[in-house]
Each structure stands twice: as structure tokens, then as C-alpha cells.
Amino acid sequence: MIYCLAYKDLIIYQWMMMQILVTGATGFVGRKLVDYMLEQTSFNLRLAVRSKFDFCFGDRVSISTIPDISAYTNWRDALLDCQVVIHAAARVHVMQEFEQAPLDAFREVNVKGTLTLARQASASGVKRFIYLSSIKVNGELTAPGKPFCPHDSVMPQCDYAVSKYEAEQGLLKLAKETGMEVVIIRPVLVYGPSVKGNFKRMMDWMKKGVPLPFGLVNNQRSFVSVDNLVDLIVTCIKHPRAANQVFLVSDGHDLSTTVLLKKLRALMERRVLFVPVPVTILNYAAKLVGQKVVTDRLCGSLQVDISKTRELLDWQPCVNVDAVLKATVDAYICNEVV
């Protein structure tokens, strides 16, 4: 009995002393992840950043400067004494692409760079590699009532999604070859305070108060708050059943574009008119001006089934949609005032 207790205490001590490397630590998800881990866990963190910055996290955090991620990046110092890697850094999809060969640019960072880090991580003794992928690996749209599942056939349609899928495949192969555990997480659109991109654009529409042609949109979209995503990432650090699995993640509460916009309208106290334009007309007009992708995102459905994530990890979203939407709007208004 004494031996069992001593062994259990040793395991707990080892978890408490764990050193974790976080890439993409200054990004939208990475910043929230670091804050959460410092507040809610006892892990020691090493942050991989592009350049040194003036911010003191305390003695539980060390910084490694990694100027660029590619097939030739040397991660030796960053990986020293680390047991887990959380790889959130990536070349993300951009609205205006300036590369002549975009897929090659995505592959250099997201595939070659990721696998270089993973190989060096395995060689340095890292036990688990958590990879932040994208739901775009599954595809861009779902049919009504048929959400994406982790075991579905994949349909990556953009260069970014192709590179993410190729990285996933390389990591799973490496896991079989080396024994290093790999965890793949495919989030849907992530939102929360300080969010950028399409979600911020919707709040910009509310602020301007212009009429919006989405009165008849009755799609269903899955979203995930940065709080829920971070909570799942931390769960995957030490959960034994997370090893070598692919997880989809959302808030577990889907919304139509119109309902989401109306929630934002109420929170921002704006009088925005929703014009009842048929979706077929919106799609036709968008196709004429080369913006079909935009209407697909606004009018099409993209749902995910997180049953596997809930059941295998005994995990539930920790915050609800309305609470995070309010915090997101409050932060947006605060930033606009400043």
C-alpha cells in the first residue's frame, strides 16, 4: 500500500514538473493557451516565438527564438527537457495571396516544418505531440443533418487545407515509426475576445448598421470559442485515450448565420435590418462577381459531430456560446473606443 501511494505521488510529481513547448504562442489561440496553462496548471512552459519580446511570464516560462519554420529549422534548444509539444504555429490561409506557388509555401511551413519539428521532438524524447489542424481537412460544407465526423473521408479543397492534411498523415506515420504519441485536433471557426478575420468582419457590419441580405439564411454552422478549444488542448496533454487520435471540436451548439448576426446585433445594441433575400439569388449574384466562396461560408452549412471528443475524453465544452459572444463583443467595443 505504501509502495502504491509512493508510486502515485511520483506520477503526480512528474506531471507537475512537465515541460511543454508551445509554438504559435503569440497567436490568437496561443496567447489564450499560455494564459490558461499558467492560471490552471502547474506545467512549465517554453514558448517558441519569432523574435524576443518584452513580457515577463514568471519563472515557469522560458522563451526560445525560432525566426522561421521550415524543413531546416533547428529546434534542439527549444525542445530541451520537453515532454510534450503543442504545435499551434502555421502558415494560415490569407485573403490576398502574394506567393506565386501558394501550395509550395504552405507545404514548406505546415508540412515540412511540422514534420521537422516532430522528428526532432521524437529524437529528443518528447512523449506526446499535439497538432492543431483545421476542420478544412474534412471539407468546406456539410449537407443538412450530416455533420463531419473524425472518421469521414477527407476533402481538403484549398492549399491550406491540403497542407494541414498532409502534415496530419506525416505525423501519424511518424507515430507508428517512433512510438511518440500524436494528437490531432481539427477546430471549426474559433472566436473569442480579440478575434480577427471573418468573425470580426461580422461585428464591423453591425457597427456600420448597414442592411444585410441574410434574412432568409437558415443554415447551420459549428463554432468553437477559444476557451473551449484551449480547454480541450490541455485535456489532451495527459489524457491516456487521446494518444494517436483525431478529434473534432466545437461549442456543441450550432447556429445559423442569421441567428449569430442577430445575437451580435442585440449585444452591440444596433438597429440592423435583415433583408429577406433568397439564398439562391445571393449565390447567383456572388458567382457573377467571383465571390462564391464568401456566400458559401455565410449561407452554407458546416457542422461537426463532437461525440467522439466528448465520449473518449469524457470532455464537455466548458463555456457556453452566449457568454463568450458577450465577452467578444465587449472586447471589440473596448478596442474600438481605445
Examine the residue annotation and report whether 332 is marked as an active-site residue of this protein: no
**Residue at grid coordinates 433583408:** 275
Choice among 160, 165, 191, 332 that is catalytic: 160
Number of Cβ within a 10 Å radius of residue 105: 17
**Which strands sit side by side in the sheet containing 61-65, from one edge to the other?**
61-65, 44-49, 19-23, 84-87, 128-132, 181-187, 245-249
In angstroms, the CA 127 to CA 237 distance is: 10
User: CB neighbours of 43 closer than 8 A, spacing ≥ 6?
Assistant: 16, 18, 19, 20, 37, 60, 237
> Which string of DSSP letters, residue by residue, matches 224-249?
EEHHHHHHHHHHHHH-GGGTTEEEEE
In angstroms, the CA 271 to CA 279 distance is: 22
DSSP element (H, E) containing 191: strand 189-191
Q: Quick one: CA dihedral 84, 86, 89, 94, positive or negative? A: positive
Looking at the annotation, which residues are catalytic? 160
